[in-house]
Amino acid sequence: MESFSNRFDPSSLPDQKPISSTGKRKRDVGKTFFENSGEISSDHLKENGDPVQGKHKAVLQRFKHAKFFLSSSKQEKEIVPLNVNSLEPLPQPLPRASQQLLQIKSNQNTLDWLPKQINYNKNKIKNFKEYTDDNLLDPRILNNLVENNFEKAFSVQTAVLDTLLLDIKKKKLLPDSGNDLLINSPTGSGKTISYLIPIIQYLSTRIIPKLSCIILVPTKPLITQVFDTLIKVSQGINLTITPLNKNSLFADEAVKLRKNVSDIIVSTPGRLVDHLQLKNISLKNLKYLIIDEADRLFNQSFQNWVTVLFNEIEQTNMKINLKTKIQFRVDKIICSSTLFGSLPSLTSIPLFKPKIIVIDNEFDTSSNHESTLTTAGNFSKAVFSLPSNLKEFQFFQNSSNSLFKPLILLKFLIINNFKSHTLIFTKSNDSSSRLARLLQLLAVNYSFDLNIQCINSTLSQFKKQKILDRFSAGEINILVSTDLMARGIDILTIKRVINYDLPMSSREYVHRVGRTSRAGNTGEAITFIFGNGERKWFNRMMKDIIRKPTSKIEIITMDQNTSTLVEADQSTPYDSIVDSNDRQLYKSALEHLQREVAGK
């Protein structure tokens, strides 16, 4: 351990003493131990007429005495307590905070530093063709869009294309031009195409493949989804697009990445960071970084991906800038339907002159307002909005007893004739598999002929994809899932979402229910609420979501053979749902499950 005397730097002391009005250095108000002990008089502090020198000597002397005293006092029985105040560092002047530091600090509390958003009138949407007419969009891209039935750009697409296509034209001549772009638009509003079209347009005239764009998404099924859309929209442009989601070995993937340079990589942050650290990927030609479902990704700290990736980008750019004297930058496009509201996430990355596009209630064309948010300060408040064609319901049970919850769910499905295109969210992998199996067993007992399956992160990527394809095609009627499915998954045929377990936050609620009612379609979201505790939590979450004054979350009951609306504080009595016959059937299903779990 470092000795006391080594740590002690007497030279730092004298200047720290405040100077009195008479020009003399003030002494400590209380007398020190040494002064009290009478071993050193306070007069020793001034020596040879030079107060600083005198002070040094005095301090050293005091220190020597202290050491001597401590060592000798060890031999004595009685240890005199040392007045530590006399050795405490004297107050230091605070370092002058730089403007930049202050700014970073304030960023962490509010988003006031963001510029004003680009408000966008929902009714002002364009045909994609208008962009080719203005020479901003390659006709091959337009053809691909039209062939896939994308003729009219949705609001978010109009807003993003109006902003980015012009920038891209400029960027060809001035590589250092461009801004970062933040996009907040409801689930199912078409954000994917909004960022893919500009990227493909940028690459449409490229000569040889160079890694120009990285797209980051949170899950492997999303990699496949974004990759598929990229292929559709870039037909005929001959781009090399590499999704890093294959079940192939990491080493094989590394060899491929080193051999064949990709134009675009679609990956999760973890896989990308692994390759970056092994130098399988070079960022020296990177122009665009897209972070989709950004709030979710920024909240994932695995492998410290934000730091690793942004350091790598910065170092690569610094080297190029030194060589070429041109300020190359990577433009970031950051999007989500719940981008704002979680402040630290956006402050964790460097943003260059960010522009912001906020679209709310995309398909609500009844109102002509531009946006409910008008100042950047509002970004820090609740800003989540839902697709306007979504109808929300809650199924409330007074009792928090969840013993019969799976049975009640099955009866709910039967009574409401929810026989297909239904996605059910549970809180964990275990709950999802258990619930799916119980529903399967119960459905047989009730002669409810349904294909009920489960999807969660324990399944291989291949199996997950297969299940998603079958669910999308309607071969699987009811899919029980975890929050794995909550983000980004785009299956237009989903008619309803059931929150069997409550989501953990309003943000996750928005994403879960956003799996239905996509691209202007209608959809239903039903949340099961058991007991007053859950009800309170649900009501609290709902405060974060902006709704039209006319829309409310209706309460439904199972008292009759159809779902019927009742008063807000009513719940369906247990006994009217579960009779003795139900209990018997449920018991036998539970016993069956128990035997399966025990491997009998």
Ligand X SMILES: Nc1ncnc2c1ncn2[C@@H]1O[C@H](COP(=O)(O)OP(=O)(O)OP(=O)(O)O)[C@@H](O)[C@H]1O
Does the protein bind ligand X through residue 198 (CB under 6 A)? Answer: no
- Binder among 360, 490, 501, 534 for ligand X (CB under 6 A): 490
Cβ atoms of residues 416 and 563 within 8 Å: yes
Q: Which stretch binds ligand X (CB under 6 A): 77-85, 267-275, 304-312, 511-519?
A: 511-519
Can you tell me whether residue 453 is helix, strand or coil?
strand
13 contacts 88 by C-beta, under 8 angstroms: no
Stretch of residues binding ligand X (CB under 6 A), selected from 151-159, 269-277, 398-406, 471-479: 151-159
Under the binding rule (CB under 6 A), the answer on residue 410 touching ligand X is no
Among 443, 514, 527, 555, which residue sits at the site for ligand X (rule: CB under 6 A)?
514
For position 492 contacting ligand X by CB under 6 A, the verdict is yes
By CB under 6 A, tell whether 125 contacts ligand X: no
Contact yes or no for 388/139 (Cβ under 8 A): no
The smaller minimum CB distance to ligand X, of residues 351 and 519, is found at 519
Contacts to ligand X from residues 208-227, by CB under 6 A: none
Smaller CB separation from ligand X, 214 or 414:
214
- Binds ligand X (CB under 6 A): choice among 191, 464, 507, 535: 191
Q: How far is the CB of 410 from ligand X (least distance, A)?
A: 28
Report how far residue 304's alpha carbon sits from residue 272's, in angstroms, rounded to the nearest whole number: 12
Q: Does 87 bind ligand X (CB under 6 A)?
A: no
337 is a contact residue toward ligand X (CB under 6 A)? yes
* Distance of closest approach, residue 515 Cβ to ligand X, in angstroms: 7
| Tokens read off for 381 | 């408040």
Please identify which residue in 220, 507, 518, 535 interacts with ligand X, judged by CB under 6 A: 518
Nearest to ligand X of 190, 503 (CB atom): 190
Burial class (CB in 10 A: 0-12, 13-18, 19+), 109: exposed
- Binding segment for ligand X (CB under 6 A), chosen from 27-35, 191-199, 432-440, 555-563, is 191-199
Query: DSSP state, 528?
Result: E
Cα–Cα dist 40/61, whole Å: 9
CB of 391 to ligand X, least distance (A): 18
Residues belonging to the chain: 600
Q: How far apart are the first and last CA of the chain?
A: 63
Is residue 389 within the footprint of ligand X (CB under 6 A)?
A: no
SS3 string of 226-250? Answer: HHHHHHHHCCCCCCCEEECCCCCCH
Among 54, 190, 269, 523, binds ligand X (CB under 6 A): 190
> Could you give the C-alpha distances from 507 to 192, 199, 533, in angstroms and in order?
19, 28, 19
Asked if residue 154 binds ligand X (CB under 6 A), the reply is yes
Which residue from 291, 296, 266, 299 is spatially nearest to 281, judged by alpha carbons? Answer: 266
Helices and strands of the chain, counted as H and E runs: 21, 17
Q: Quick check: 361 binds ligand X (CB under 6 A)?
A: no
- Residue selected from 243, 269, 488, 523 as contacting ligand X according to rule CB under 6 A: 488
CB nearer ligand X, residue 211 or residue 383: 383
Q: How many Å apart are CA 98 and CA 116, to the nearest integer?
A: 25
Contact positions with ligand X (CB under 6 A) in 20-79: none
Q: Is 483 in the site for ligand X (CB under 6 A)?
A: no
Task: Render 355-374 in DSSP notation, one character per residue.
Answer: EEEE--STT--S---S-S--
Site residues (vs ligand X, CB under 6 A): 150, 152-154, 157, 185, 187-193, 337, 488, 490, 492, 514, 518-519
